[in-house]
C-alpha cells in the first residue's frame, strides 16, 4: 500500500530532508586526497546526534546480510555501487569518486539522500558519468506530478542513461519513504513490466536514486555481505533525492 502524506507530515519530512542536505553539504568538501571514509562517518554521526535525530541506516537489519548495518553513512568508492562501509583504512586518492548516502529519522519521519563527489581531479569519462547520473535524477524529478505514472519516472532515467552510453543498476532501486525508511512503491531505474505502474497522487513521497555504471549493469556483493560492486570493476555513480508529489508539481524535500 502506498501511503500518502498530509501537508503537516510533509513539513516534518521537509525538516528531516533538510538535515540530510546539511550533512551532505558538510561532508562534500571533506572528500579530499588523504582523507578516510571513516572521518566522514564521525562528522555525520555527530551532526545527527546534535540535531536530536536518529540515523536511518545504523542498526537497519537486512536479512540477506544477516546483520544490522553498523554505520550512519554508506560510502561507496569507485566500483562500489551502494552500501560501502566507512573505514579508517579506506584512504581516498586523487581521481576517486565517492558516493555518500545517508538518512535520518526526525520527529518520526525519514529523509534520505545521496551524492557522488570527486576526489581532486577526475578524468573526463568520470566527469561525464557523474553529469549524466545527476541529469537523470533531475529529469526524473520533473516527472513527479499528479496524473503521471511510476513508469514515467523509471523510463526517464533509463532512456537518458542508456542513451548516453551507460547502464542502470537493476538489483537496487528507489523507494517510497515516510514513517518508514523503505515504503511502497519500489522505484527501479528502468521500466520493469512485471511491476505495478501506479498513478502518482498528491502526498506520495518518493526516494528516487539513479545508480549508473560506466560499464556493465551487473553487480555482486562482497564478502562483508553489504558492499555492492560492479562485476566488471567499472566505476559507478549514485545520486538521490526525496520528492513529494504536490498539486503544483515536484517538491524536493532534501534540498533548499
Instruction: Specify the number of domains making up the chain.
Output: 1
CATH of the domain at 114: 3.90.230.10
Using CA atoms, how far apart are residues 135 and 148, in angstroms rounded to an integer? Answer: 20
- Report the alpha-carbon distance of residue 225 to residue 235 in Å, rounded: 20
Position 134 in a domain: yes
Q: Is residue 227 part of a domain?
A: yes
In a domain, 190, yes or no: yes
pLDDT of the residue at 4:
98
Tens of pLDDT, residues 50-78: 999 999 999 999 999 999 999 999 999 99
Q: Answer whether residue 135 shows pLDDT above 90.
A: yes
Does 2 reside within a domain? no
**Residue 18, class by beta-carbon neighbours within 10 Å (0-12 exposed, 13-18 middle, 19+ buried)?**
middle
Q: Are 72 and 48 spatial neighbours (Cβ–Cβ below 8 Å)?
A: yes
Range of the domain at 52: 7-252
**DSSP 8-state code for residue 189:** S
Q: What is the pLDDT of residues 175-210, one digit of tens each?
A: 999 999 999 999 999 999 888 999 999 999 999 999
In a domain, 99, yes or no: yes
State residue 175's pLDDT score.
98
- Residue 27 belongs to a domain: yes
Residue with cell 551487473: 218
Q: Is 52 a member of any domain?
A: yes
Residues 240, 101: contact at Cβ < 8 Å?
Answer: yes
Whether 26 shows a pLDDT value over 90: the answer reads yes
Q: Work out whether the CA dihedral 225, 30, 109, 187 comes out positive or negative.
A: negative
pLDDT tens per residue, range 90-106: 999 999 999 999 999 99
pLDDT tens string 142-166: 999 999 999 999 999 999 999 999 9
C-alpha distance from residue 139 to each of 1, 36, 49, 73, 159 (Å): 26, 33, 34, 26, 10
C-alpha to C-alpha distance for 18 and 171, rounded to whole angstroms: 28
In the predicted structure, residue 245 carries a pLDDT above the cut 90: yes
Amino acid at each position: 500500500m502506498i501511503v500518502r502524506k498530509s501537508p503537516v507530515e510533509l513539513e516534518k519530512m521537509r525538516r528531516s530532508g533538510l538535515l540530510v542536505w546539511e550533512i551532505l553539504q558538510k561532508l562534500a568538501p571533506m572528500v579530499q586526497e588523504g582523507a578516510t571514509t571513516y572521518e566522514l562517518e564521525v562528522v555525520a554521526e555527530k551532526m545527527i546526534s546534535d540535531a536530536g535525530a536518529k540515523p536511518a541506516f545504523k542498526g537497519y537489519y537486512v536479512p540477506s546480510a544477516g546483520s544490522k548495518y553498523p554505520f550512519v553513512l554508506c560510502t561507496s568508492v569507485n566500483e562500489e555501487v551502494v552500501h560501502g562501509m566507512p573505514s579508517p583504512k579506506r584512504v581516498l586518492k586523487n581521481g576517486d569518486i565517492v558516493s555518500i548516502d545517508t538518512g535520518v529519522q526526525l520527529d518520526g519521519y525519514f529523509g534520505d539522500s545521496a551524492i557522488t563527489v570527486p576526489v581532486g581531479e577526475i578524468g573526463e569519462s568520470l566527469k561525464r558519468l557523474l553529469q549524466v547520473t545527476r541529469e537523470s535524477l533531475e529529469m526524473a524529478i520533473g516527472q513527479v506530478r499528479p496524473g503521471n505514472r511510476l513508469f514515467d519516472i523509471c523510463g526517464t532515467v533509463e532512456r537518458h542513461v542508456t542513451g548516453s552510453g551507460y547502464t542502470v543498476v537493476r538489483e537496487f532501486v528507489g523507494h517510497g519513504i515516510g514513517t518508514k525508511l523503505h515504503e511502497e512503491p519500489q522505484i527501479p531505474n528502468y521500466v520493469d513490466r512485471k511491476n505495478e505502474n501506479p498513478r502518482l497522487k498528491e502526498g506520495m513521497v518518493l526516494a528516487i536514486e539513479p545508480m549508473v555504471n560506466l560499464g556493465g549493469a551487473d553487480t555482486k556483493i562482497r564478502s562483508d555481505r553489504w558492499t555492492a560492486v560492479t562485476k566488471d570493476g567499472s566505476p559507478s555513480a549514485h545520486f538521490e533525492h526525496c520528492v513529494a508529489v504536490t498539486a503544483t508539481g515536484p517538491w524536493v524535500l532534501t534540498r533548499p
